[in-house]
Structure 1
């Protein structure tokens, strides 16, 4: 089966919808700065999330909170058919407040719900977005879906969630988020944290479940996506976000996102 990768941005809901068909690609340990709500249409995957292992298959829902580190790979060389919605934190906060009356970020307690009864409604909404439906039924379905998912699968995500995160690690993250376009080395990060290099690597990985280098590359990819969405050329997006060349950028982008930078950019040019 030929691989097909389709992404559509819905300006009404302000969310992305991804559909992957016939995918064999292995995705490395990484995270997103947005929520991911997805489900398996067919195939099996071995999923690792926050240092726990799962085997997921047809009809299973997947939830990733912002910054949840995760990786997945095929089981027995099965191809994957997968749909997901990517929801920015500010959109999730607004919708959660409208649904619950509280100003907070919900936190999905588990990354997997096996054989979830909500998969059908998620499929319906996802297809509406792919079909570029503009009727208010789409927005109604979006609210009904999130209301059910929030009630069944989440707890309150307070700002104190990261209180166990060491201040030194937070300082390193802030540095990477600010200086992603510049050359970064481990010695500088260790100095910012007030640790030796090995202690930083161990503490950072233990705290976030991801290495400092993988964190930096994820920040760079996130920033590059924003530029591509505005129509920037892949080479310009690469140079502006700290990648050494376009080839290096393209390899990382497809590894993380599942599309080439050009394919991703074309989605937004088409929607404009």
Structure 2
């Protein structure tokens, strides 16, 4: 193995999927197939991929979609290494998630092996970060379902039903989040509010607000936390009184949104 190669494999026990994060990989992969689905992204490098007797040139930001049983192989076509992130889902898990999203019990079949889709690419990279950093179940579930919804809408051969919700429905969800931000809110709770599927809610909410419902909720919580910190409250107390599960998750989100830790933000106002 090349000394610069780095391989990370994580199994998420809450959502039951594998995540591969490979850096600077140079090895070729001979013809093989999997008995599970593979959703992968290339973030660096170039490969020649053969899948089901078709040849593809796969570059950075391309996405590969393999069905169970798809025969594929690949090798590097430049002098650099390959950075690859892969998400592996068993047939049982994929079928369950498809039912959860669309309320249909149907086997999923990807219609394309290689696609270029910035929304899907960004969502996969976000999911990788959430899993590797072991963030909350709600974070990971919402991102996984959004990723699958985006893929199902465009790259699944057996068409699934698509519904939409209007601006009033989105307002109902937003109002609920603003009033109940201290509570443990799950995606299914929001779906029941307006009687839609998870995919419909995610699709329409992202279109209207440019972020997912859970991200919107975290923005509300951060806003409440800022108010308390500005009054001199301790970060540990703010975490417990703004809806976060613990101080660690609170600090992660606060720094991610504002670029500084809660304590540094608080100290600005104390010194002032």
Taking structure 2 as the reference length, what is the TM-score of the superposition? 0.56
Match in the other structure for 1:95 = 97
Separation of aligned partners in 2, 1:99 and 1:134 = 20
Separation of aligned partners in 2, 1:144 and 1:115 = 14
1:80 and 2:82 are equivalent in the alignment: yes
Match in the other structure for 2:181 = none
Matches within 5 A, 1:1-272: 2-156=4-158
Separation of aligned partners in 2, 1:60 and 1:38 = 8
Taking structure 1 as the reference length, what is the TM-score of the superposition? 0.56
Separation of aligned partners in 1, 2:92 and 2:158 = 15
Report the alpha carbon displacement of residue 132 of structure 1 after superposing the two structures with TM. Answer: 1.5
Higher relative contact order (CA 8 A, sep 6+): 1
Unmatched tracts of structure 2, length 5 or more: 160-272
Give the conservation status (yes or no) of the 8 Å contact 1:45–1:74.
yes
Separation of aligned partners in 1, 2:125 and 2:153 = 19
Match in the other structure for 1:169 = none
Deviations 1:222-248 (A, max 9, x none): xxxxxxxxxxxxxxxxxxxxxxxxxxx
Give the conservation status (yes or no) of the 8 Å contact 1:37–1:86.
yes
Give the conservation status (yes or no) of the 8 Å contact 1:38–1:62.
yes
Point out 4+ residue stretches in structure 1 off by more than 4 angstroms: none
Structure of larger gyration radius: 2
Aligned length: 157
Between 49-58 and 96-105, the greater mean CA deviation after superposition: 96-105
Report the alpha carbon displacement of residue 134 of structure 1 after superposing the two structures with TM. Answer: 2.6
Report the alpha carbon displacement of residue 115 of structure 1 after superposing the two structures with TM. Answer: 4.8
Unmatched tracts of structure 1, length 5 or more: 158-272
SS in 2 for 1:106: coil
Deviations 1:4-28 (A, max 9, x none): 0000000011000001100001000
Give the conservation status (yes or no) of the 8 Å contact 1:61–1:116.
no
SS in 1 for 2:131: helix
Give the conservation status (yes or no) of the 8 Å contact 1:58–1:115.
no
SS in 2 for 1:58: coil
